[in-house]
Copies of this chain bind each other. A is one copy, B any other.
Amino acid sequence: MNWAIFGILISLVSFGVAAYFYCWVKALPTAEGSMSDIADLIRKGAFTFISREYRILGIFVAIVSFLILLFFPQPFWNGNISTNLGMVGAYILGSALSGVAGYIGISIATIANVKAATAAREGLAPSFMAGFRGGAVMGMAVVGTSLLGAAILYIVSQDPDIVLAFSFGASSLALFAKAGGGIFTKTADIAADLIGKVELGIPEDDPRNPAVIADNVGDNVGDVAGMGADLFDSNIAAIAAAMVIAIPLGEIDLLFCYASLGLLASIIGVLFSKVGKNGNPSAALNRGTYLTCGVFVILTFAATLLFNLQFRLWTATIVGMIAGVIIGFTSDYFTGDDMKPVKKVAEASKSGPAFTILSGMSYGLLSSFPSLAGIGAASLIAYKICEPLGGSYHVMGISMAAVGMLSIVGMIMSNDAYGPIVDNARGLAEMCGLGDQVLEITDELDAAGNTSKAITKGFAIGAAGLTVIALLAAFREIVFEYTNEVLTFDMMDPLVFFGALIGTAVPAVFSAMLMMGVNRNSQIMVKEIHHQFDTIEGLREGKEGVQPDYEKCIDIATIGAVKELIPAGLTAIVITLIIGFTGGVKAIGGFLAGNILSGLLLAMMMSNAGGLWDNAKKYIESGNCGGKGSDAHKAAVIGDTVGDPFKDTAGPSINTQITVVSLVSSLAAILFITYSIF
């Protein structure tokens, strides 16, 4: 059985499901009145940003394509120009598919938000379904596209360099899309919150607030398009790393079999996800995840038995999946609003914002332990299980653990995209005055989205950790083929250690640059909002017919994000090249190791602390510790503001940064060997 073909078939099925959901959502009614006008504004804003962002990224892709053509994997005068050309093609394909994934996400999300808001008038269940099926369009499209791309690539060419170039295209685009979207969304979110909630004491989505539409646009470009590009990239990178190792082992069938069955399991999970009339949306999302996991285990077990696949690799895959669930649980514990950490931070907020920050930061730091231990244990177990098979099966084990962790990514992505859709629906309901009962429903749907977002990030970060170990092995493999020398990255080697120190600092520099970008832009937007309140008469009082200039705020966020999205990622890439060309492949080995370690630590800390602060604020808003308007609430809002770029800009971009520098290293390996100083 040719499992790559099977993968293509399953992808097509997932596109069918996506199309069905798309039509289903589109056919739902839209509330009369101002809603479609506002929805149009959001939609227009999102597409304006995306097209400006893609224009910049197009230039980037063109420049990199030219560089690849000249130099990668070898300078064209030394090697074979057709290899270079093939890499350019694969790189462009990866970039383009990543862009398509983001585009599809925005298309559906900016429709589903209105539908979910409208449906909330009928009750929780219809609104949930609109949000969830909207998200599922994204989930199915993203995973289908990545599997399709990988399968076609495999059928066309089995050269590891080509595969890595494809993955690099997806990852580098994801890096910038996430950074850009993350800066956009948090610029608007912070500015809107600071003026609305803190200064004026008006509700979150009050239409008087000039930043409120920009905030809703941000949900789409950051959380939908950005996160979509990220999970697309994670999935591609995991499959690509596994392919590089699987091809020489002749285990490519197993890889495509499991990846396809993972998508199939997700399709089943998505189709069966439902919430009872007054059911708990959080529980519904989790049920879907567990169902998908269960189906995946059964299907892969059966396939392994039936087609006589390697059982040790199956075990490694399942170990990875379980580790993903454990990391998800950890995120859930540290960020869930019925758990101790959230309550403790809310409690601490009563003593002032400094305690909100300190306690949240402490929990964020603590939360890194179980996740890192889980990733470490998964890689160790996967390695040890597959070691008896000999050859490079041990590394294949680790990379199958990454594939296993991402096996249910279709379901995860659906849950994740659900979040910003219902968040938007909440905004629309408030802006269009659909009434308190509707707001209550959308609030509940929104809170469920927050937790599932934290879990998604856990998966994405954990999978990146395992993938990058596999990529490190792929890097070593490439060096071995070229030099016939088995590289060891001994931490006692001063070059390795030097690289590790620099690699450790890179995620810190990268996330600092992103946060500074958000900082700068939201200060500009805050000024603009003050200006509007000062100059537009009747705006503050909410006089009938007086509207703020929403588009000015969307403009500020767009211009700022487009300006800031390149430098941070480029810095990481340039430092990688500098280390490679000075310290050579040994320094790069250390560099990547240090980069993974500190990257995972910071990513977990930031994502979980951010989610924790957000939910602590929500916990207080729901009437605890003094409730809305109390000092504790003010402190919690400050915590939430600090957490915003932590969890939605810097934190979740770090895993992409790790993947990108790993891929850059692998692609430039031969150049480093040939031209490095040491």
Chain A residues proximal to chain B, CB less than 8 Å: 190, 194, 198, 348, 351-355, 357-359, 361-366, 368-369, 372-373, 375-377, 379-380, 383-384, 394, 398, 465, 469, 472-473, 476, 488-492, 494-502, 504-505, 508-509, 511-513, 515-516, 518-519, 522-523, 526, 589-590, 593-594, 597-598, 600-601, 605, 638, 641-642, 645
Contact = CB atoms under 8 A, between A and B. Distances in A.
Contact of A594 (B383, B515, B597): B597
Contact of A362 (B198, B512, B594, B600): B512
Contacts of A365: 508-509, 511-512
B194 A369 contact: no
Contact of A601 (B362, B380, B523, B598): B598
A376 B509 contact: no
A530 to B, nearest CB: 10
B515 A384 contact: no
A358 B515 contact: yes
A495 B352 contact: no
Contact of A353 (B511, B526, B600, B638): B638
12 contacts: A190-B354, A352-B641, A353-B353, A358-B515, A366-B509, A369-B509, A372-B504, A376-B499, A379-B494, A488-B488, A491-B496, A505-B601
Nearest to A366: B512
A500 B383 CA distance: 16
Contacts of A500: 376, 593, 597
A501 B372 CA distance: 6
A469 B373 CA distance: 24
Contacts of A383: 494
Q: Which 3 A-B pairs have the closest CB atoms?
A: A354-B641, A376-B501, A365-B512
A508 B605 contact: yes
A521 to B, nearest CB: 12
A519 B379 contact: no
Nearest to A634: B353
Contacts of A518: 358
Contacts of A498: 376-377, 379-380
B476 A508 contact: no
Given A353-B638, A361-B515, A597-B597, A491 B472 contact: yes
Contact of A504 (B352, B394, B600): B600
B369 A508 contact: yes
A380 B495 contact: yes
A589 B509 contact: no
A469 B488 contact: no
Given A362-B515, A372-B504, A376-B498, 6 more contacts: A351-B523, A355-B522, A362-B513, A366-B509, A504-B598, A504-B601
Contacts of A509: 365-366, 368-369
Contacts of A368: 504-505, 508-509
A379 B488 contact: no
Nearest to A597: B504
A530 B505 CA distance: 43
Contacts of A638: 352-354, 357, 638
Given A488-B488, A492-B489, A508-B368, A519 B362 contact: yes
A355 B597 contact: no
Contacts of A353: 353, 638
Query: Which of A469, A497, A515, A641 is the most central at the interface, judged by chain B CB atoms within 10 Å of its CB?
Result: A497
Contacts of A398: 494
A416 B413 CA distance: 53
B494 A384 contact: yes
A589 B491 contact: yes
Given A362-B516, A498-B380, A491 B351 contact: no
A491 B383 CA distance: 13
B362 A502 contact: no
A365 B516 CA distance: 11
Contacts of A598: 504, 597-598, 601
Nearest to A351: B523
A315 to B, nearest CB: 15
A478 to B, nearest CB: 14
A376 B526 contact: no
Contacts of A523: 348, 351, 355
Contacts of A465: 501
B590 A491 contact: yes
A560 to B, nearest CB: 15
A502 B373 contact: yes
